[in-house]
Amino acid sequence: MTDDIEYPLSENPEDVETPAGTNLSEITLEKVVSGEIDGEELVITPETLEKQAQVAEREGRTQVARNFRRAAELTAVPDDRILEIYNALRPSGADREELQAIAEELETEYDATLNAEHVREAADVYEERGLF
């Protein structure tokens, strides 16, 4: 954990980068409007989410830190697939086998081990509560 990370991260914009490596301090409305910076550059990176997780962890907010780390993993998953997984996680949205397949996919295709664990836990809870 890095102790020099301060919250909010925007107060140290040189420590926050876009996916292409542009510093937050270099992003302006004018550059976005002119097309110099496109919308794909305005997404959060796994590194920024990890920094947020470190701040939360340092403050004793372990569950918030875990959520940031799960979000960091999900940056590699296409948006449409995230929506499909979300719908599958709704009670009666998928059966146990489908959820296990999703967990396996998250783990093997996206290295999203925390999210895979979360899906497996959901499958266990749904089974315990008779939601399949």
Domain definitions of the chain by residue range: 1-75, 77-132
pLDDT tens, N- to C-terminus, the chain (132 residues): 455 666 677 677 777 888 888 888 888 889 889 988 888 888 889 999 999 999 999 999 999 999 999 999 999 999 999 999 999 999 889 999 999 999 999 999 999 999 999 999 999 999 999 988
Query: Hey, how many other C-beta atoms are within 10 angstroms of the C-beta on 56?
Result: 19
Backbone angles phi, psi at 113, to 5 degrees: -70, -35
With contact defined as beta carbons under 8 Å apart, do 17 and 23 qualify?
Answer: yes
Counting Cβ atoms within 10 Å, is residue 1 exposed (0-12), middle (13-18) or buried (19+)? exposed
pLDDT of residue 92: 86
pLDDT of residue 20: 81
H or E segment and range at residue 94: none
pLDDT of residue 114: 98
With contact defined as beta carbons under 8 Å apart, do 106 and 119 qualify?
Answer: yes
CATH H superfamily, domain 77-132: Propanediol/glycerol dehydratase, small subunit (1.10.1510.20)
